[in-house]
Amino acid sequence: MNGLGIIKGLGVTLKHFISTYVEDFRWRGKLYRTEKGLAFRSSSKMRGVFTVQYPEEKLPLPEEFRFIPFLVYDELPNGEKDFRCTSCGICAKVCPPQCIWIYRSNDPVTGRPIPAPAEFYIDIDICMNCGMCAEYCPFDAIIMDHDYEISSYDRMKDDIYNKEKLGKPASYYQGIRPTNYARQATARAEKEAAKAAGKKDV
Amino acid sequence: MSDDGLNSTGLVVPAEIRQQVTLTTLDRIYNWSRRNSVWPMMFGLACCAIEMICTAAARYDFARFGMEVMRPSPRQADVMIVSGTVTKKMIPQIVRLYNQMAEPKYVIAMGACASGGGPFKEGYNVVAGVDKFVPVDVYIPGCPPTPQALLFGLITLQKKIDKESLKTVRWYSKEPVLDIPIPVLGPDLMDPRKYEAIKEYNAAQAEQAIAIEQLDQTPPLNQA
Amino acid sequence: MSEQDVVTQVPDLTSRFPEQVVKDTRQGYEGYIVQPDFLLEFARTMRDEDGYDYLSSVTGVDYLPEGKLEVVYHVYKTIGDKGLVFKVQLPRDNSIVTSLVSIYPGAEFQEREAYDLLGIRFENHPDLRRILMWEGFAGYPLRKDWKEPFYEEDFKPFKTRWPQGKIVRAEDGTPFKDNVEYPSDFDPENWVSESESKLYESLKVIQQESDGMKTDRIIVNLGPQHPSTHGVFRMVAVVEGETIVELKPVFGYLHRNHEKIGERNTFLQNIPFTDRLDYISSMSNNFGYVLAVEKLMNIKPPDRAEYLRVMMAELTRISSHVMAIGFLLNDLGAYFTPALYALEERELILDIFEAVSGSRMMCNYMRFGGVVRDLPEGVLEKVNELVFDRLPRKIDELDRYLTENEIVRNRCEGVGVLTPEQAIALSCAGPMLRASGVPYDVRRAEPYSIYDQLDFDVAIGIHGDVYDRYLVRIEEIRQSLKILQQVVKQIPDGPIMTGKPAYQVRVPAGEAYGRVEGPKGELGYYVISNGKPNPWRYHVRAPSFINLTSLAPMCRGEKIADAIVVLGAIDIVLGEVDR
């Protein structure tokens, strides 16, 4: 019969339509704005309504998610911020669109470079969120952030991030990337232990 | 009618009629009705357009915010989401489309490329940010911004619309709002507002060349 | 014939054409150098006698130190065999060579691109105009001595970033606060733009009278902003009534100077830029580039990395095809419901990409010698569920929904027919070539990675119309699922990278052409290295760009509504077309 193909197609649409109500009924109002419901709606067993109701529900971001980078500082007991960055410049060299500017100052007494960045700029209108700066940093000093809610009204004022704006504490880093943090913390502890053992031998 | 943030006058409404009556200002209701029905123009340039389509699709539906339909015609659209790299070959069409949009109109620069050139900023065919030609209301950084970031940017635009006042908006002002002159594709992109600057610069370069020649009595070096 | 005879039957071209053809003896290079006036004869002999009927890539290279411009041709046989590379060397100040469009019509757009970006003139080309830039643009951008207005240094990393990195916006360093530059004697107010007039002149159509009634032909511009085009793409059509008489595509509206930036980048820095070529399927693009450079470096990734790469490439193929089907149905008028169902599946696959690489679309996942990181916890189970349970079910549902729909069949069958000979001559690739009946798939013709150990079929069509291209895509999704089911079961444990991750890569001098079967067709990367950290020449053979050569022959005689459908079936992505 002519038209059977269209009717079969309409059957598929009808099934999708009815399943939205069936799922709502099955979950009895707990499908939206709950964690379990959100997990169901993002899994491969999902049926019915697929929508994530931003801003009331935000999809949990996986650990590897990368947006704009940030600089990690360890909080010292007296409240000072100890940036891990030693201004080695690897991130500036490896950045594909060259959006990182680092100014390394010299010690006025000895004339040797200070292993800390005097100034550090990232132009986020050029950053392509590739994550290579974080991948090749030997000190885990620059990490890709998860915060994507950074739209602004005026880019001339807001879009060049200096060191202050880029700095976030190590506890924040641990919160967003627990596995990476744990792995890098153990690696650093091992390196310290090896250095201490080496010194003892000498 | 429920309150919904419209009641800004602070006057007290008696309890019996609170379900039927609300008091508001003209500004407030004008902005409220417009910010909840901002229709985007179907205008995707590059990779960010795919994220815009994903935002329009089922998972991050932006029809929930009032951006019900994407209108291909600029006359029927309210906001132009410039999503993707703006190139010199395309900028005359973008300016033309912006001129054809009816007031009130807004522009969102989505992504790093539309905000400031992005990773391709050093290219010879890339305009370093669409705000060189067209006034931009909201910038959304990212490459590409995830649909949730774009939705946050749209909410930022809605907040901006909330703050507008009928006394100061562009389309009700006494001065005429002029069209932006359309750029011309010459040996390189030419902005008609900069013709004077180009002629002055060329004249200054020519004078400098003559001055050097007279000074050295040697042929001038080839300039670019 | 014994195996020995077959192997040694590859002809030694230098002995067949003693004066005109010599072997390319530069270190790391391969192929032959042909004299420019013998080129046409040589190409005809290769196509007719030796069976090299498929021209894969035509590109130009600027060798400034030697004062030469070189045109490089890659040809292959559709029966599947090793390819042939031959080159022509021209002096830089007088670079004129015969066009090969009369032998391989698929060279048309690529030769125009070589003219546009490098200034090589092709004699007897049917329509030699600029293709990516506009007529009147000053200079040939890809030449080594042409500097762009925002030029800082020749090679990255720039010295201004560290250790004395005081930030300066690039605009502030130029006289006009923008990246524009004009010749010194230029008067802007008296400039007459020629690009449109040259475009309309090239639409040479003879006016004919029919039935004694004089009819007018109208020129209609579709795009660059149009709800049905897949990006900023413009078609100029000469229509008579509703029938298209002549059609010319115009692009360059998204030309982002990928190749010039590629020459300034280091090899490693190019990987995120390749993501942005075919922005719907970024893992495939990474794969092709990494294969090309690994050929130069002569390293092989470990087994687990190979399996991961194939898994990502096949998931990308599924997500790209499912989106192509959704948008084809959009073009047919089924506004958005099939696209929404397709995008639902794509979102679940993008969740996996986000968990593995960090970004939904710009994955930047592969490196030279392996992949960046291993799969996090739980991802393999998610892939398992998708590949064994959800995706086969949903593809069957999409099939049931769309394939027998009478409207789809009436509008797609018989529209945009391409015969196999035409498809090969026009250098079509991917589902377009296979829908016309030519079983050429790079994964079988020149297997890379572990595809020779996997069991899958190559989907072909019979009629070569839009309906067949749709059916080929559905079948390819099923074959990708078959591959994924094998990969997920057989993936071994082990390291994911050969050697240590390093940001300074040492690439020996030479040239390499690495190609993969992307979702849109054969994606090739031609990389020339001269031992420095930055490539000397970096060219992308983009399948969508070359598939567009077939748009005009397919659309002549069809209605305007059909032209939109044909464009949807070619499935272009502007990031690739314009680079």
Is residue B51 domain-shared with residue B155, that is, in the same domain?
yes
| Mean pLDDT over the full length of chain C | 87
Q: Residue C87: beta bridge partners?
A: C33, C72
Looking at residue A178, its amino acid is P
Best B79, B86, B148 residue to mutate vs chain A (most A CBs within 10 Å):
B148
Segment C420-432 mean pLDDT: 91
Residues ≥6 apart with Cβ < 8 Å to B88: B125, B126, B127, B183, B185, B188, B189
Is residue B56 domain-shared with residue B153, that is, in the same domain?
yes
Q: What per-residue confidence (pLDDT) applies to C158?
A: 86
The nearest CA of chain B is from the CA of A151 a distance in Å of 4
Q: Per-residue pLDDT tens for C20-76?
A: 888 888 888 888 899 888 889 889 988 888 888 899 999 999 998 888 899 999 999
- Give the Cα separation of B191 and B183 in Å (integer): 5
Nearest CA in chain C to A124: C169
Nearest CA in chain C to A16: C341
What are the strands of the beta sheet with B106-110, ordered from one edge? B79-83, B106-110, B138-140
* CB neighbour class for A182 (10 Å; exposed up to 12, middle 13-18, buried from 19): exposed
- Inter-chain touch C163–A129, beta carbons under 8 Å: no
- Inter-chain touch C193–B46, beta carbons under 8 Å: no
| Mean pLDDT over the full length of chain A | 86
Nearest CA in chain A to B148: A54
DSSP state of C550: G
**Contact residues, chain C, for A93 at CB < 8 Å:** 157, 161-162, 503
- Give the Cα separation of B95 and B75 in Å (integer): 14
- The token pair at C95 is 């670079």
In the predicted structure, residue B220 carries a pLDDT above the cut 60: no
Q: Residue B108: beta bridge partners?
A: B81, B138
Is residue B203 domain-shared with residue B148, that is, in the same domain?
no
- Give the Cα separation of B170 and B168 in Å (integer): 7
- Inter-chain touch A63–C376, beta carbons under 8 Å: yes
Is residue B92 domain-shared with residue B143, that is, in the same domain?
yes
Contact criterion met (CB below 8 Å) for A121 and A162:
yes
Is residue B76 domain-shared with residue B156, that is, in the same domain?
yes
The verdict on C165 touching A (C-beta cutoff 8 Å) is yes
- For residue B180, tell me if it sits in a domain: no
Q: Which of A:148-187 have CB within 8 Å of C?
A: 160, 179
Q: What per-residue confidence (pLDDT) applies to B72?
A: 84
Using CB atoms, list chains with 3+ pairs below 8 Å to chain A: B, C
Q: What per-residue confidence (pLDDT) applies to B2?
A: 44
Considering only CB atoms, B185 lies closest to which of C134, C175, C272, namely C134
Q: What per-residue confidence (pLDDT) applies to B219?
A: 57
- Inter-chain touch B185–C136, beta carbons under 8 Å: yes
**Contact residues, chain B, for C190 at CB < 8 Å:** none
DSSP state of B132: G
Q: Per-residue pLDDT tens for C146-197?
A: 888 888 888 888 888 887 878 778 777 777 777 787 877 777 777 787 778 8
The verdict on A68 touching C (C-beta cutoff 8 Å) is no
- Inter-chain touch A6–C341, beta carbons under 8 Å: no
In the predicted structure, residue C259 carries a pLDDT above the cut 70: yes
- Give the Cα separation of C547 and C541 in Å (integer): 11
Best A130, A144, A145 residue to mutate vs chain C (most C CBs within 10 Å):
A130
Contact criterion met (CB below 8 Å) for A143 and A156:
no
Q: Per-residue pLDDT tens for C467-484?
A: 999 999 999 999 999 999
Is residue B137 domain-shared with residue B209, that is, in the same domain?
no
Question: Which of A178-182, B15-19, C254-258 bottoms out in mean pLDDT, i.e. has the lowest?
Answer: B15-19
* Structure-token match 């007459």, residue found: C192
Homologous superfamily, domain C258-578: Cytochrome-c3 Hydrogenase, chain B (1.10.645.10)
Q: Which of B:8-67 have CB within 8 Å of C?
A: 42-47, 49-51, 53-54, 57-59
Task: Residue C431: name the closest of C441, C446, C422 by CA.
Answer: C441
Half-sphere exposure of B223 (CA within 13 A, CB side): 14
Domain ranges of chain C: 11-123, 258-578
Considering only CB atoms, A123 lies closest to which of C167, C355, C405, namely C167
Q: Is the model more confident about A68 or about A202? A: A68
Task: Residue C292: name the closest of C513, C85, C72 by CA.
Answer: C513
Count other Cβ atoms within 10 Å, centred on residue A179.
Answer: 11
Q: What per-residue confidence (pLDDT) applies to B216?
A: 77
Q: Per-residue pLDDT tens for A8-54?
A: 889 999 999 999 898 888 888 788 888 888 888 888 888 888 888 88
With b for 16 or more beta-carbon neighbours within 10 A and e for fewer, the C150-184 pattern comes to bbbeeebbbeebbbebebebbbeeeebebbbbbee
Q: What per-residue confidence (pLDDT) applies to A185?
A: 86
B156 falls in which pLDDT band (50, 70, 90)? very high
- Inter-chain touch A8–C397, beta carbons under 8 Å: no
Contact criterion met (CB below 8 Å) for B94 and A87:
no
Nearest CA in chain C to B83: C231
Q: What separation, in Å, do the N-terminal and C-terminal C-alpha atoms of chain B show?
A: 68
* Structure-token match 């370093």, residue found: B128
Segment B73-83 mean pLDDT: 91
**Contact residues, chain C, for B51 at CB < 8 Å:** 360-361
Give me the domains of chain A, ranges plus CATH numbers: 1-60 (no CATH), 69-201 (3.30.70.20)
* CB neighbour class for A89 (10 Å; exposed up to 12, middle 13-18, buried from 19): middle
Nearest CA in chain B to A50: B59
Contact criterion met (CB below 8 Å) for A155 and B116:
yes
**Contact residues, chain C, for A61 at CB < 8 Å:** 354
Nearest CA in chain B to C341: B58
Contact criterion met (CB below 8 Å) for C534 and C264:
yes
Contact criterion met (CB below 8 Å) for C423 and C550:
yes
The verdict on B107 touching A (C-beta cutoff 8 Å) is no
- Inter-chain touch B115–A155, beta carbons under 8 Å: yes
In the predicted structure, residue C118 carries a pLDDT above the cut 70: yes
- Give the Cα separation of C144 and A126 in Å (integer): 25
Task: Residue C167: name the closest of B132, A123, A113 by CA.
Answer: A123
Task: Residue C474: name the closest of C547, C398, C549 by CA.
Answer: C398
Nearest CA in chain A to C261: A97
- The token pair at B188 is 């390189």
Best C116, C158, C178 residue to mutate vs chain B (most B CBs within 10 Å):
C178
The verdict on B142 touching A (C-beta cutoff 8 Å) is yes
Q: What per-residue confidence (pLDDT) applies to B140?
A: 92
Count other Cβ atoms within 10 Å, centred on residue C413.
Answer: 13
In the predicted structure, residue B170 carries a pLDDT above the cut 80: yes
Considering only CB atoms, C166 lies closest to which of A42, A43, A103, namely A103
Segment C535-544 mean pLDDT: 92
- For residue B111, tell me if it sits in a domain: yes
Which range marks the domain in which residue B127 is found? Answer: 39-160
B96 falls in which pLDDT band (50, 70, 90)? very high
- The token pair at C254 is 């998204």
- For residue B156, tell me if it sits in a domain: yes
Using CB atoms, list chains with 3+ pairs below 8 Å to chain C: A, B
Q: Percentage helix, strand, coil, to 5, in chain A? A: 40, 15, 45
Contact criterion met (CB below 8 Å) for B55 and B81:
no
Using DSSP, state whether A144 is helix, strand or coil. Answer: strand
In the predicted structure, residue C241 carries a pLDDT above the cut 90: no
Nearest CA in chain B to A130: B143
Considering only CB atoms, B89 lies closest to which of C226, C253, C340, namely C253
- The token pair at A202 is 């000498």
Contact criterion met (CB below 8 Å) for C376 and C312:
no
**Contact residues, chain B, for A152 at CB < 8 Å:** 138-139, 141, 156
Number of domains in chain B: 2
The verdict on C508 touching A (C-beta cutoff 8 Å) is no
- For residue B48, tell me if it sits in a domain: yes
Considering only CB atoms, C268 lies closest to which of A2, A94, A104, namely A94
- For residue B186, tell me if it sits in a domain: no
Considering only CB atoms, B87 lies closest to which of C141, C147, C256, namely C256
In the predicted structure, residue C6 carries a pLDDT above the cut 60: no
- For residue B34, tell me if it sits in a domain: no
- Give the Cα separation of C359 and C487 in Å (integer): 23
Contact criterion met (CB below 8 Å) for C74 and C83:
yes
The verdict on B123 touching A (C-beta cutoff 8 Å) is no
Is residue B200 domain-shared with residue B91, that is, in the same domain?
no
> How many helices and strands (H and E) does chain B possess?
6, 5
**Contact residues, chain B, for A155 at CB < 8 Å:** 109, 115-116, 129, 131, 136, 139
CA dihedral B171, B172, B178, B179 (to 10 degrees): 20
Q: Per-residue pLDDT tens for C80-114?
A: 778 889 999 999 888 899 999 999 998 999 999 99
Q: Is the model more confident about C196 or about B56? A: B56
Q: Is the model more confident about A198 or about C557? A: C557
- Inter-chain touch B149–A149, beta carbons under 8 Å: yes
* Domain made up of C11-123: CATH architecture: 2-Layer Sandwich (3.30)
- Inter-chain touch C401–A9, beta carbons under 8 Å: yes
Task: Residue A38: name the closest of B207, B60, C152 by CA.
Answer: B60
- Inter-chain touch B118–A153, beta carbons under 8 Å: no
Count other Cβ atoms within 10 Å, centred on residue B25.
Answer: 14
- For residue B182, tell me if it sits in a domain: no
C355 falls in which pLDDT band (50, 70, 90)? very high
Q: What per-residue confidence (pLDDT) applies to C516?
A: 92
Segment C1-16 mean pLDDT: 54
Task: Residue C325: name the closest of C385, C392, C408 by CA.
Answer: C408
| Helices marked H in C461-559 | 466-490, 543-547, 551-555
Q: Which of C:372-431 have CB within 8 Å of A?
A: 372-373, 376, 382, 385-386, 389-390, 397, 400-409
What's the distance, CA A73 to chain centroid? 16
Considering only CB atoms, C227 lies closest to which of B72, B198, B223, namely B72
Looking at residue C215, its amino acid is T
Q: Per-residue pLDDT tens for A42-91?
A: 888 888 888 888 888 888 889 899 998 999 988 888 878 888 888 888 98
The verdict on B152 touching A (C-beta cutoff 8 Å) is yes
- The token pair at C573 is 């992505």
Is residue B99 domain-shared with residue B208, that is, in the same domain?
no
Question: Which of A110-124, C195-209, C453-467 bottoms out in mean pLDDT, i.e. has the lowest?
Answer: C195-209
Cα A201 to Cα A189, A196, A197, A198, C259, distances in angstroms? 18, 9, 6, 5, 54
In the predicted structure, residue B4 carries a pLDDT above the cut 70: no
**Boundary residue ending a domain (B143, B160, B177):** B160
What's the CATH number where B72 sits? 3.40.50.12280
Is residue B45 domain-shared with residue B151, that is, in the same domain?
yes
The nearest CA of chain C is from the CA of B25 a distance in Å of 39
Segment C513-536 mean pLDDT: 91
